[in-house]
Amino acid sequence: MSLAFSPRFVHIARLALPATLLILIFYFTLSPSRSSSSFSLGFSSSGRRSAFISAAVQTEIDGPFDNSSLVELCASRKWTQGLIFKCEAHRGGIVEARNVMLNCLRFAIEAGATNFIIPEIATEGPSRVPFSHFFDLPYFTTTLSSSCPQMTIIPHTDDLWDKPSTSPAVPISPNHFPSTPQLPLLHNSILAKPEDWTSAFKSHLNDTHPRPPSSQLPILVNLSPPPLLQFPMSYDSPHFIANFGKLVRTNEELRTLAGAVLYAFSQTHNLNIRPYRGIERAKFYGASLSSHLRPREVSPRTLHHSRPLSVSELSHNFITSAIRFNLTTIYLSTPQPSPDSLEPLTSPDLTTLLNLTKNASLSLSTAVSLLGGPLPFLPLSSESTSTSPSDAEPTLLPSRPGAKGFESEWLKYQSLTPTQKEAIDFEVLIRGTQFGGEVSSLGWGVALRRHVIASGGAGRWRGLVAGEVGGKGVAGKGGRGGKRRGKRVVGGDPESDRAEEAQERKMAPKTRLGSKERSFRDELSVLFGAEGEGAAWELGGWP
């Protein structure tokens, strides 16, 4: 028996079917609960997790590396065959290690060195670890070789065993050549006239090593001490500044673990983070604390411009800023123990911050709480520490099995050194809707990386101080000359400051002093500290 439909019914059905499909498409595309992530449709739970982490690993917050200005710089320089550059191993955090590598490379390009040795990184004690311990060596090698083919990369100093002319190395401090007049410096370290550096370098090399380098008899130049903040960014074009730092990125293993932390963070607090979008609105507030010297509380004797802010002040600053931007969730970097700390950040400090956030109806998470289990933290004691097999730095090992679903990541996290853990925090913090930190290398590293976005992204960079240093820059498109002036380009607007101070009076009337002190501020980040503190990072810290 066949069914018969009237022509009117058939006509209505033909119109209804496409209309229904369009409604469904618009619903799944535009509905806030459905358009939140490309991972929410067509993926199982494990599939969403894998896609999320993959996107976090593969996505830069301001887009992929654009090598055009690096290609232009390398094409404009005069190269010297047989000139080999290397940097002495640096001891410090992840941001410092990265900046040393970039400064060393920038000096090598300026000198026209046709060979560059991948530097090692120093740890506590006499031990050293390879560059790949923290950074993506295959990516760096491939990207630099394709962008600057004039320079050949040498994996290790031991690879010069068959070139006796390179031993001993010629030690050079990039900002001071004894055989030439002292180069003018800013903040005792940064070149004030980088356009004069190459000629001064060559003059010093000729005076101390009369035989010129050649392919047959190369010369090894060792930059020692390693250059942390010495080459002024403003000598180069904004496009170069915004992209150069992307050459040195965290290695894939650490980025994958950071992606897992970000996924756990998003799931735990229902943040619906989309890692492929970089910095998103209305997600979370990132905060950084380190364990370097700081007073426990404010006292009259510590009220001078250079004192570190107390834990109490910083805690109230973070909370006030988060509330100001309507952010109810805070991601806090996990403070790592430091042998230089007279007053290291301890569990009571973190418990205080946790209680303050709860009183303000905010949530606080760290990599430890997301992978290892809920706060509060366990005390730092002899039973909860061990020595990492890769270096001599202590690593906190709370005795807990790990958060459900993240047991394997927790095991990996526990095996990391403090500097590797700092790298994971860096990767998460740069994605925060807003960021606040103290004046430290980690704080500056995160703030400067995010400043690329605050400048407009897409290869843009807005200078941090009025006036530039240097000369012609990248192929004639860089700095405009002149000296550093006191007036800041980046800062808060008065109306926002008044609103924030009103919130501070409401939240923390006893700690308003610390809330008012800012070393750096743009639309996305703030560093709490005395004005002018960290000025060398503004001029020489690569984003």
Task: Please tell me the distance from the alpha carbon of residue 139 to that of residue 49, in angstroms, as a whole number.
Answer: 24
Structure tokens given for 160 = 């010069």
What's the confidence (pLDDT) of residue 14? 60
What's the confidence (pLDDT) of residue 100? 94
207 and 335 assigned to the same domain: no
DSSP state of 251: -
Low-confidence winner among 28-42, 199-213, 264-278 (lowest mean pLDDT): 28-42
Task: Please tell me the distance from the alpha carbon of residue 6 to that of residue 10, in angstroms, as a whole number.
Answer: 6
290 and 156 assigned to the same domain: no
Q: With 70 as the cut, is the pLDDT of residue 418 above it?
A: yes
What's the confidence (pLDDT) of residue 336? 61
Query: pTM for the whole thing?
Result: 0.81
Q: With 70 as the cut, is the pLDDT of residue 85 above it?
A: yes
216 and 313 assigned to the same domain: no
Q: What is the mean pLDDT of residues 160-181?
A: 86
Asked if residue 21 belongs to a domain, the reply is no
Asked if residue 269 belongs to a domain, the reply is no
Domain end call among 199, 232, 265: 232
Q: What is the mean pLDDT of residues 92-99?
A: 92
pLDDT in tens, 526-536: 999 888 788 88
Structure tokens given for 323 = 């509330």
Task: Please tell me the distance from the alpha carbon of residue 73 to that of residue 475, in angstroms, as a whole number.
Answer: 6
What's the confidence (pLDDT) of residue 392? 40
**Contacts of 123 by beta carbon, 8 Å cutoff, 6+ apart:** 91, 129, 390, 391, 392, 393, 417, 419
Q: With 70 as the cut, is the pLDDT of residue 343 above it?
A: no
Q: What is the mean pLDDT of residues 91-105?
A: 93
376 Ramachandran zone, left/alpha/beta (phi>0; psi -120 to 50): beta
285 and 211 assigned to the same domain: no
**Contacts of 32 by beta carbon, 8 Å cutoff, 6+ apart:** none
What's the confidence (pLDDT) of residue 41? 33
Domains contained in the chain, number: 2
What's the confidence (pLDDT) of residue 18? 56
* Selection from 218-222, 379-383, 397-401 with the highest mean pLDDT: 218-222
Asked if residue 242 belongs to a domain, the reply is no
295 and 215 assigned to the same domain: no
Asked if residue 338 belongs to a domain, the reply is yes
Asked if residue 260 belongs to a domain, the reply is no
102 and 220 assigned to the same domain: yes
Residue 129 dihedral angles phi and psi, to the nearest 5°: -125, 155
Higher pLDDT, 459 or 452: 452
185 and 325 assigned to the same domain: no
Spatial contact of 84 and 209, defined as CB atoms under 8 Å apart: no
385 and 531 assigned to the same domain: yes
Residue 171 dihedral angles phi and psi, to the nearest 5°: -75, 135
Domain end call among 232, 263, 293: 232
DSSP state of 183: P
115 and 204 assigned to the same domain: yes
**What is the residue whose two structure tokens read 């805070």?**
330
Low-confidence winner among 18-27, 211-220, 506-515, 516-525 (lowest mean pLDDT): 506-515
What's the confidence (pLDDT) of residue 393? 44
Task: Please tell me the distance from the alpha carbon of residue 507 to that of residue 245, in angstroms, as a whole number.
Answer: 38
Q: What is the mean pLDDT of residues 73-102?
A: 93
Task: Please tell me the distance from the alpha carbon of residue 197 to that of residue 397, in angstroms, as a whole number.
Answer: 47
Identify which of 380, 373, 320, 389 has the alpha carbon closest to the alpha carbon of residue 350.
Answer: 380
**What is the residue whose two structure tokens read 């740069």?**
430
**Contacts of 513 by beta carbon, 8 Å cutoff, 6+ apart:** 298, 303, 313
Q: What is the mean pLDDT of residues 314-320?
A: 90
395 and 310 assigned to the same domain: yes
210 and 355 assigned to the same domain: no
Asked if residue 238 belongs to a domain, the reply is no
Task: Please tell me the distance from the alpha carbon of residue 54 to that of residue 61, in angstroms, as a whole number.
Answer: 14
pLDDT in tens, 139-154: 999 999 999 999 999 9
Structure tokens given for 274 = 């989309």
Strands 190-191 and 90-91: unpaired
Asked if residue 464 belongs to a domain, the reply is no
Higher pLDDT, 77 or 517: 77
Task: Please tell me the distance from the alpha carbon of residue 82 to that of residue 89, in angstroms, as a whole number.
Answer: 22
pLDDT in tens, 10-52: 555 565 655 565 555 444 444 443 333 333 334 467 789 999 9
What's the confidence (pLDDT) of residue 353? 80
* Selection from 47-56, 166-175, 468-477 with the highest mean pLDDT: 47-56
Helices (H), 80-158: 94-111, 137-147
Spatial contact of 336 and 440, defined as CB atoms under 8 Å apart: no
429 and 317 assigned to the same domain: yes
Domain end call among 177, 200, 232: 232
Calculate ∠ Cα 89-537-517, nearest 5°. Answer: 135
Confidence band, pLDDT 50/70/90 cuts, at residue 4? low
Asked if residue 125 belongs to a domain, the reply is yes
Confidence band, pLDDT 50/70/90 cuts, at residue 396? very low
Q: What is the mean pLDDT of residues 362-368?
A: 92
Structure tokens given for 239 = 């496009």
What's the confidence (pLDDT) of residue 506? 53
Domain residues for 126? 68-232
152 DSSP β-pair partners:
115
* Number of helices and strands in the chain (H, E): 17, 18
Calculate ∠ Cα 67-71-76, nearest 5°. Answer: 150
Structure tokens given for 486 = 């006191």
What's the confidence (pLDDT) of residue 307? 60
Average pLDDT, the chain: 78
Spatial contact of 330 and 316, defined as CB atoms under 8 Å apart: no
Q: What is the mean pLDDT of residues 231-259?
A: 95
What's the confidence (pLDDT) of residue 56? 95
